[in-house]
Amino acid sequence: MYVPVRVYSEENAVLNHSHELAVFGRKALIVTGKVSSRKNGSLDDVISALKMHGREFTVFDKTEENPCVGTAVMCARQGIEEGADFVIGVGGGSPLDTAKAAAFLMKHPKNGKELLYQTGDDSHFPLVLVPTTCGTGSEVTQYSVLLREELKVKKSILHSVFAGLALIDGRYLKSAPLTIIRNTALDSFCHLVESRINKRADSYSRMFVDSGLLLWGKNRSALESGTDDPAVYQSLMDASAMAGMAIAQTSTTVPHGLSYYLTINMGIPHGKAVGYFIAGYLSAAHESEREYILKKAGFSSLDDFQEFYLRICGKTEVSRELLSAASEGMLKNPQKLSPVPFEIDRDVMEKMVFFTSNHIN
């Protein structure tokens, strides 16, 4: 078990721990998106915390949804040119993953973007992460998933980039649209499922999964009806972090690999895309594991979960051609297949991939 990130989860976490943030360096490269971090107050909190301790900063706010390698390179270049000596990622998974890649590239300025996908030295600039969604858990994982434009695939860089500090504040969910909360919370549920049904799971990773499932299930009604309860927001963020701690040990599996086909080809948000395949993955798993997970999260059956998914995401029409391509591609993906604790042949893969499509129709 390796969880090197110092985590504070509380209201006003950034300002309450401004001193610990400030000691990371003298000038920060703040990596964020174009709109949401300004709207939810997280960017203002980070800037205020830096100013309290006389720290300088430069803001990179060009991170797009599903960020590409080129964005990370551009971000790192700004940090180097501005003389930043540490990085702060603020936002959902896209800014946090971009911040990780930029922190790595800034440490290796004489190398090009190809270094991201070459194994070797994992050293990187000091890194602080401030999540504003309840799904990726990127603040506590080593992964940075970027779109490789030339290959048209989403792939994690081949370097372990953990933050030194994560500051989690549920208040930032208050201004998020319910669709964003739903999509990202689905992602955290899928992280919990994929890390539980996993060859690499052990008693420690399962501890995070079990706590995360209970917390997620306790608050899932808010994903249907919405909420203004700060405690629910904080709980959803905590469930996401627990899921992140679990996948940091196990990695994700087939549903995540399949989801990229829907995201890249149809523009379907990541959490919704993974959720599309998670019922199929559960259907193929051992019955005892499936029932254990569903019960922990408060579902009476797999059909109960599937109906919940359809209620919060709606019906998604995916062509049989794309689903078949996803199935074929995943059968050739040892990275996602290797952690799966049951045998997957072509028949099993197709049943998983077409499970939701068949359920809808």
Task: Supply the CATH number for residue 122's domain.
Answer: 3.40.50.1970
- pTM comes to 0.96
Out of 109, 140, 172, a domain closes at 172
Residue 276 contacts by C-beta under 8 Å, 6 or more apart in sequence? Answer: 259, 262, 268, 309, 313, 316, 318, 356
Q: Which one-letter amino acid corresponds to residue 251?
A: S
Out of 116, 151, 172, a domain closes at 172
Instruction: Name the pairing type of β-strands 6-9 and 86-91.
Output: unpaired
Q: Which stretches within 165-220 are classed as H helix?
A: 178-196, 203-218
Same domain, 93 and 126: yes
Q: Which one-letter amino acid corresponds to residue 273?
A: A
| Total structural domains within the chain | 2
CB atoms near residue 32 (< 10 Å)? 28
Same domain, 135 and 218: no
The predicted pLDDT at position 92 comes to 96
The predicted pLDDT at position 361 comes to 63
CA-CA distance, 208 to 197, in Å (whole number)? 13
Same domain, 160 and 183: no
Residue 91 domain-assigned (yes or no) = yes
Same domain, 193 and 223: yes
Same domain, 70 and 151: yes
Residue among 256, 305, 252 nearest 283 (CA): 305
Residue 136 domain-assigned (yes or no) = yes
Residue among 187, 86, 172, 91 nearest 139 (CA): 91
Output Rg (C-alpha) for the chain, integer angstroms. 19
The predicted pLDDT at position 1 comes to 84
The predicted pLDDT at position 218 comes to 96
Instruction: List the CATH number of the domain containing 243.
Output: 1.20.1090.10
Same domain, 110 and 228: no
Same domain, 163 and 31: yes
5 Cα distance to chain centroid: 16
Structure-block tokens of residue 258: 């399949």
CA-CA distance, 195 to 284, in Å (whole number)? 15
The predicted pLDDT at position 152 comes to 79
Q: Residue 248, CB half-sphere, CA atoms under 13 Å: how many?
A: 24
pLDDT at 268 over 80: yes
Out of 148, 172, 196, a domain closes at 172
Same domain, 103 and 238: no
Same domain, 156 and 197: no
Q: Give, as one character, the DSSP assignment of residue 219.
A: T
Residue among 42, 238, 55, 64 nearest 147 (CA): 64
The predicted pLDDT at position 101 comes to 98
CB atoms near residue 338 (< 10 Å)? 11
The predicted pLDDT at position 150 comes to 82
Tell me what percent of the residues of the chain surpass a pLDDT of 90: 94
Q: 178-196 vs 287-296: helix axis angle to the nearest 10?
A: 140
Residue 239 domain-assigned (yes or no) = yes
Residue 354 domain-assigned (yes or no) = yes
Residue 1 domain-assigned (yes or no) = no
Which domain does 140 fall in, by range?
Answer: 6-172
DSSP β-bridge partners for residue 154 = 147
Using the structure block, give the residue that is written with the tokens 């890390």.
195
Chain-wide mean pLDDT for the chain? 96
Residue 103 domain-assigned (yes or no) = yes
Same domain, 212 and 153: no
Q: Residue 323, CB half-sphere, CA atoms under 13 Å: how many?
A: 19
Same domain, 125 and 223: no
The predicted pLDDT at position 136 comes to 93
Same domain, 214 and 141: no
Q: 93-107 vs 69-81: helix axis angle to the nearest 10?
A: 60
The predicted pLDDT at position 35 comes to 94
192: helix, coil or strand? Answer: helix
Residue among 137, 249, 219, 217 nearest 184 (CA): 137
